[in-house]
Amino acid sequence: MDVMQATSRDPWRSKQHPMRTNVLTCALRSWGLWGCILTSACTASAADVHPPQDRLFFPTGLAVAPDGSVLFAANSNSELRYDSGAISVIDLGTVESVIDAWSPIPNPACNVISPPAFCKPDAGTCKSDPDHRETLVCDAVKFLRADAGVRIGNFATDLAVQDFSYLDKDGNKVVKARVVVPTRGDPSIAWADFDGENLSCTAGSTRFPLCDDAHRLANVGSDPDSPPIPEEPFGVFADPGPPGQDKTYPNGFAVMTHLTTGAVTLINSPGNADPQVKDAPQVEVADVKNNLFAIDATGLRGATGVAGRKQGVDGEIVYVGSRSDARIQTFTVGRPVNNTPPYLLVDDFFFLDAVGASSGGSTDTRGMQFSQSGDRMYVVNRRPPTLQIFDTSIGPSGFPRNAATGASDICREASTLAVLDAGAGERAYVTCFQDGEIYVVDPNGSSQVEDIITVGRGPYSVVAATYQAKSPPGDPAPGASAPVTMSRSLLFVSNYLEDTIAVVDVTPTLATRNRVVLRIGQPRAP
């Protein structure tokens, strides 16, 4: 899936920050209904065109906070119905409690004709899907932390998180993170810091603020007199870098790809950045590499998927795929000793020649993810539609092997993927935008498709999370054991075309494995 193109060559779609839209809305105040009839148009107030705080709208990128407390969701505002996009903050504690009550870790008291109240959902905001009885549908407002989000540019495509958390003097974990989001409408990249409760991207403490210019990177060096970043920012990978002294992460960075130019942008993003302090480190565009990939038959070259082999280490290797070229390019980040901005070092590349035509060759790379160890990489390609698996363990030369080990046929128009071991071995979960499905791929052997899950219209991003689930409170049924605690694994899938997030239970031991157990938001009509 390509989010609607928005470039400077298309001025109707590319409004400059703060992303205004010409919404023909009438505020029926003292004019009443006749005021709108007698005039050609009524000017909407700023509040009338702000995006909603209690709904999802064309969600794309997703990421889980480092402490697992919340899910960040980028709302792309692709119809330009509002004056900006947004980053929503979804409370995962509420999600988990609703799922545990709806689909308990099995408590026999809930598996009877008239289960007790603690087994039932909140009837005021949640209802069982009539077509899929195992799925609970709830209004998004039940889960959204309305004042914790921020407003960004339009056409957001992806979302990545840097974990800057640390232990205080008493050994308690202090949650600190940064969310990085490419927006194609400017083009720019927005960033906001998370303190464990709220996102912030302005100097003040306003509710649901629009990110200020310091949190919107649109020019090289973040200097308005410098050249703008390339068009069509698309994918992003963020890394905190290794921890430094005094609870800082001085070498944090993010790498962003550009869909129609083949460029790759490096963002310097240290953990101790502070736009309000003149001499403090700043988040800024540090380097841009252009024309990295070959041009395809349409005359375009493009960089798409991006992933890092192992985060939080010196010498992190970043892998970048292309929509136009059958190869993967690798990079490392160079750090000068004189505190000048870092730069991208273009390293080796390898061809995607294990799958394809008679001579091999796979193009239009999309999602890329590594296993937790960094020794296996999964690559989603559209031409041909495959999930390819590579051995990226360190070889005798001291460099990753980058050797193909397997591939599986998958759906057309695949977008992204998540990798998770939920207790039965590692699996790759691939979103199929066109078919409304998730392909579950078992990488063992030469790899094979294990299951196909229907999740909703236009699934785009998918992320995974695991938590300790409990049976709901209350007395168990006569003769039943006491409530139990177990690990539960979930996928979160952004359904771009219906304004929802599907929550899929992938816990191997449950009857609800590979089923949507919760839908956050009421599906928008086609």
Strand partners, 150: 87
The structure tokens listed for 127 are 């209802």
For residues 186 and 285, give the distance between their C-alpha atoms in angstroms, rounded to a whole number: 15
Q: What is the per-residue pLDDT for 2?
A: 53
- Write down all domains in the chain, each with its CATH number in brackets: 55-142+413-466+485-521 (2.40.10.500)
Considering only CA atoms, give the Rg of the chain: 23
- 490: exposed, middle or buried (Cβ count in 10 Å: 0-12, 13-18, 19+): buried
Q: Are 266 and 342 in contact (CB under 8 A)?
A: yes
For residues 521 and 501, give the distance between their C-alpha atoms in angstroms, rounded to a whole number: 7
Q: Nearest 10 degrees: CA dihedral of 285, 286, 290, 293? A: -100
Q: Are 186 and 218 in contact (CB under 8 A)?
A: yes
For residues 412 and 71, give the distance between their C-alpha atoms in angstroms, rounded to a whole number: 28
Size (the chain), residues = 526
- Token look-up 């579950």 returns 440
On the CB side of 455, how many CA atoms lie within 13 Å of its CA? 38
Q: Are 53 and 144 in contact (CB under 8 A)?
A: yes
Determine how β-strand 126-129 pairs with β-strand 500-505. unpaired
Q: Are 239 and 162 in contact (CB under 8 A)?
A: yes
Q: How many other β-carbons are positioned within 10 Å of the β-carbon of residue 224?
A: 9
Q: Are 88 and 95 in contact (CB under 8 A)?
A: no
The structure tokens listed for 467 are 């938590």
For residues 191 and 153, give the distance between their C-alpha atoms in angstroms, rounded to a whole number: 11
- Token look-up 């390509």 returns 2
For residues 253 and 146, give the distance between their C-alpha atoms in angstroms, rounded to a whole number: 29
Does the pTM of the predicted model rise above 0.85? yes
At 442 the three-state DSSP class reads: strand
Q: What letter does residue 113 receive in the DSSP assignment?
A: S
Q: What is the per-residue pLDDT for 339?
A: 76
- 289: exposed, middle or buried (Cβ count in 10 Å: 0-12, 13-18, 19+): buried
Tens-digit pLDDT string for the chain (526 aa) = 554 444 333 333 334 444 333 333 333 333 333 333 333 444 455 667 889 999 999 999 999 999 999 999 999 999 999 999 999 999 999 999 999 888 655 555 555 555 555 555 554 479 999 888 889 999 999 999 999 999 999 999 999 999 999 988 888 999 999 999 999 998 999 999 999 999 999 987 778 999 999 999 999 988 888 999 999 999 999 999 999 887 889 999 999 999 999 999 999 999 999 888 888 889 999 999 999 999 988 888 999 999 999 999 989 999 999 999 999 999 999 999 887 889 999 999 999 999 876 566 898 999 999 999 999 999 999 999 999 999 999 999 999 999 999 999 999 999 999 999 999 999 999 999 999 999 999 998 889 999 999 999 999 999 999 998 866 544 454 555 555 678 999 999 999 999 999 999 999 999 899 999 999 999 999 8
Q: What is the per-residue pLDDT for 23?
A: 35
Q: Are 64 and 463 in contact (CB under 8 A)?
A: yes
